[in-house]
Amino acid sequence: MHTTLLSHRRAGVLLHITSLPGPHAYGDISHYAYQFVDQLCEAGFSVWQILPLGPTHEDLCPYQSLSAHAGNPQLINLEWLVKKGWLATEGLHSNNSLDRQGRIDCIQHAYNQFNLIANSDEKHAWQTFIDENHYWLLNYALFMVLRDEFDNNSWVDWPQEYRDADEHLLQEYKSLHEEKINSIFFQQYVFFQQWAELKAYANKKGVLIIGDMPIFVAHDSAEVWANRQYFAINEYGMADFVAGVPPDYFSETGQRWGNPHYQWDKLEQDDFSWWVERMHTQAQLYDGVRIDHFRGLVQYWEIPASEENAIHGQWVDAPGEKLLQKLTQCFPQLTLIAEDLGTITPDVIKLRNDFSLPGMLILQFAFSGDNDNPYLPENHSENSLVYTATHDNDTTVNWYQALTPETKAYVSESLGGRPIDMPWTLIKVAFDSVALLAVIPMQDLLGLGDGHRMNIPGTTEGNWQWRLLEGQFNYEIRNKAYAMLASSNRVFDPANYDSTQVIQPNSNL
């Protein structure tokens, strides 16, 4: 039997790569990532959940990536390039290497050196990567080179012939800028090499990785620019209606994300080939994929583009059943997870259940006063992931401190009258849940309060910047977590683990 996320009771930690410690502006695929895998094992965890890995815009939001396939070059470990002999140590330790452009400059130096000294095996691996990722790589590279030429402006503001991706012009442009395009290829080759090594290390240690796939893609992205037939945009590249969600727990005015909607009829006519390609890339990166905003596969919230917020809009049907039939047929061994939060209707629950997809249970949402609240521990189901909170929530300590005395009393009553010691009380509830997988944000494991949340939905500034400090996930915390996991029968047992049974994706699309 293949080792899967829900083959037995497990526990995991939610921590994005950018939140890892390190000397640069963001955490990356460095020795700190490998150290974190070791620490997870020591604490009894066997799952690492991260946020999307794509290249971000200046706001750093991983859910509005420049590509649905590419890896963020800011996550590339520069020390790895030094060990390969492709980057001089002096370049690594220059102050410029600490910022966004500095890291790109270092990777460019490495590419130049790669061209000079790479051996035949390395050049073969490089060409194999290009061939196997043909379905997205060239479009992405062209998009990024053009974007750089036009001062990082959105593609809708490029000169018309480039905006409209004139095929003859792009062929000529590709010939004239071959080195720049190959440099982008190299960035992605290095990223995927480094990620494959980290994932192999984690899997060998018994740690599986859950990735995150936003249901929508950013308007300013290679996918929308190169595949506009699949997106609801006009001849000028603009969307008349955009994506988001109506008012909910997180925002009184809803969330206006601004993504273009899909032309679902065109996607279906092409047998969802665009989605299959997208999921193929995810299957190379992760052991399980969380489909963000899963309810959008049943109905999506359509907001007129002229609206400043998401209050006014309408629900529009989407062919989620047909799409999931295709994806589960093509990727039968990949665990898909439904992020079934927000406005959930019976048809959303039916779609999730029809495909036996695990859903998400958030304990911070459990204490509304309703006995039928699905997040209350007594209402949990096995085929689920239980969280104290997500990356969109405040830390559990801060959440609890903000509750009214009446609600705090209700929390205690709902948990059997036990003494409250946040966040460990809620962590223990998560571990004791019947849900097969319990995931705890790192901020909760550390007991952090105000000022440590990852994201405030509906805002665009100051998010995605939280960092774990070196040594902060210390022995005392790992030991406490291990004891709780052991009492909840969630400790990973290496004696019963065979890393050769971890699902390996087919490299051929």
Query: Residue 229 CB: number of other CB atoms within 10 A?
Result: 12
Is 292 one of the catalytic residues? Answer: yes
The closest of 336, 334, 333, 352 to 344, measured between CA atoms, is 352
Nearest-angstrom CA–CA distance, 143 and 66: 9
Helix 31-42, helix 178-204: angle, nearest 10: 20
- Residue from 28, 212, 287, 292 carrying the catalytic annotation: 292
- Residue from 28, 212, 287, 339 carrying the catalytic annotation: 339
- Residue from 122, 132, 302, 392 carrying the catalytic annotation: 392
SS3 276: helix
Cis peptide before 423 (omega within 30 of 0): yes
The answer to whether 255 and 244 are in contact (CB under 8 A) is yes
Nearest-angstrom CA–CA distance, 354 and 5: 19
Q: Which helix (H) or strand (E) holds 160?
A: helix 160-163
Is 421 one of the catalytic residues? Answer: no
Is 172 one of the catalytic residues? Answer: no
- CA torsion through residues 27, 32, 38, 44, sign: negative
Question: Per the structure block, which two tokens stand in for 291?
Answer: 């489909």
Q: Name residues whose C-beta falls within 8 Å of residue 89's C-beta, 6 or more positions apart in sequence.
A: 82
* Buried/exposed 283-307: b ≥16 CB within 10 Å, e otherwise: bbbbbbbbbbbbbbbbbbbbbeeeb
Nearest-angstrom CA–CA distance, 4 and 277: 22
Edge-to-edge strand ranges of the sheet holding 47-49 = 335-338, 288-292, 208-214, 47-49, 10-14, 437-441, 384-387, 359-362
Q: Measured between alpha carbons, how far is residue 431 from residues 4, 12, 363, 392 in Å?
A: 19, 10, 11, 21
State the DSSP code for 152: T
Nearest-angstrom CA–CA distance, 269 and 17: 37
State the DSSP code for 93: T
Which residues are identified as catalytic? 292, 339, 392
